[in-house]
């Protein structure tokens, strides 16, 4: 099933590239607007944060609180992230609550949460996803993959690497 979805995603991307006026992408300009910025708070109790508005990253040190440092993404990195957002059409309405199976939805503890705030052309998008559901929806998986994509860029930076190691764990 995953491969089929990937194939559909590729077809949609090609369609958007060919036809810029495609209505599924009307909320996101083809070219990254100058006011594009975002913040992601994520993890258990949303203590990790990547914030391009402030040019900061905050790391959850668990037992030792949090640590914040200045970290500014390059124009090229911002464009790459914007393109990833276009691929999943982040401005489109998303469904993050899974359908019940046999009348129940599997829940887990502790769980991570993601909270996004994105500005595109003066419009603010706010997206929240909870990891309390054992199996996220397809939209939820896309948002988690996007967060991981952004976080991998952050983790490669010297500023992030200079932050202290996390101490402990969540039960």
Helical spans, DSSP H, in the chain: 2-18, 75-87, 138-155, 158-161
What is the structure's pLDDT at 39? 98
- pLDDT digit string (tens) for 19-43? 333 334 456 899 999 999 999 999 9
Cα Rg of the chain, angstroms: 17
| Integer CA distances (angstroms), 42 to 6, 20, 28, 49, 140, in order | 25, 32, 24, 6, 13
Token digits of residue 140: 């939820």
Q: What is the DSSP string of 132-154?
A: TBSS--HHHHHHHHHHHHHHHHH
pLDDT band with cut points at 50, 70 and 90 for residue 7? very low
**Global confidence as pTM:** 0.81
Distance CA 35, CA 53 (A): 10
pLDDT band with cut points at 50, 70 and 90 for residue 15? very low
Residue 112 has pLDDT above 50, yes or no: yes
Distance CA 145, CA 40 (A): 13
DSSP 8-state secondary structure symbol assigned to residue 63: T
The answer to whether 64 touches 165, Cβ cutoff 8 Å, is no
Output the furthest CA–CA distance in the chain (Å, rounded): 51
pLDDT band with cut points at 50, 70 and 90 for residue 6? very low
């Amino acid at each position: 099933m995953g491969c089929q979805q990937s194939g559909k995603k590729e077809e949609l991307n090609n369609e958007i590239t060919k036809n810029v006026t495609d209505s599924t992408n009307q909320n996101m300009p083809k070219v990254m607007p100058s006011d594009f910025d975002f913040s992601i708070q994520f993890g258990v109790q949303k203590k990790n944060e990547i914030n391009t508005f402030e040019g900061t990253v905050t790391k959850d040190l668990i037992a030792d609180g949090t640590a914040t440092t200045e970290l500014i993404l390059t124009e090229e990195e911002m464009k790459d992230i914007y393109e990833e957002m276009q691929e999943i059409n982040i401005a489109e309405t998303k469904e993050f609550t899974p359908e019940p199976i046999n009348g129940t939805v599997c829940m887990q503890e502790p769980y991570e949460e993601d909270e996004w705030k994105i500005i595109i052309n003066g419009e603010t998008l706010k997206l929240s996803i909870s990891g309390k559901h054992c199996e996220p929806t397809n939209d939820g998986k896309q948002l988690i993959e996007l967060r991981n994509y952004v976080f991998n860029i952050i983790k490669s930076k010297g500023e992030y690497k200079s932050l202290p190691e996390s101490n402990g764990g969540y039960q």
